[in-house]
Each structure stands twice: as C-alpha cells, then as structure tokens.
Amino acid sequence: MDHKEFCSHIQDFLYDSLDDNTLNEFLEHMDSCADCRDELSTQYLVYEGLERLETGATFDVDKDLSEIVERERHRLRTRTALTHLATAAEIFTVTLFCIVMALLRFY
C-alpha cells in the first residue's frame, strides 16, 4: 500500500469498515510510515474532535487513536485465527471421513 492509497482508506478505517486484507496492509503501512501516521492523527482529530467539542468531553488524540489501532489489530488477529481454525476443522472432517470410508471397506 502506498501513501495515496493509505490516505484514501483513513475514513474507512475510522468507521471500522475495511476488509481484512486492506486492514492488514493499512496497519503495515502505518507501522512503517511516519507521514501517514501523522495524517491519520490529523484526520482522527477532525473526525472525533468535532464531536467531542460539542459534548465537552476531554480528548487525548494519541491515546484514543492508539486504542483504536490496538482494537483493529486484535480484531484482525482474531479473525485470522478463526479462519485457520475453520480450515483445520475442515481438514479434520475430510480425514475422518476418509478413515471411516476405508474402515467400512473392511467390514
């Protein structure tokens, strides 16, 4: 993912609507690019700051944003683990089926 693509996905990231692959690339680029991290902070400030101004709630951009990033990372890890688990379950079922079929031939 390049800078331009990253910037075009910032809104979707903040609205929690990126698909897994895009989210993964987004987080990878964010880790390796200080410019884009700054851009994300700026856009987050505008996105969240306006709302907080109205309610008068206190607002710590870096802390809040890093919480969102951690939440997204966790979500991505959980989903990747679930995909692996589903694949493993499928392999297990097919293997079991083959064993049962093989056993049936002997009886």
Which residues would be at the binding site for Zn ion (CB under 5 A)?
A: 3, 33, 36
Q: Which of 66, 67, 76 is nearest to 22 (CA)?
A: 76
How far apart, in Å, are the Cα atoms of 21 and each of 78, 83, 84, 89?
A: 14, 13, 15, 23
The residue among 35 and 51 lying less far from Zn ion, judged by its C-beta, is: 35
The residue among 4 and 105 lying less far from Zn ion, judged by its C-beta, is: 4
CB of 47 to Zn ion, least distance (A): 19
The residue among 33 and 76 lying less far from Zn ion, judged by its C-beta, is: 33
CB of 33 to Zn ion, least distance (A): 3
Contact 61, 41 (CB under 8 A): yes
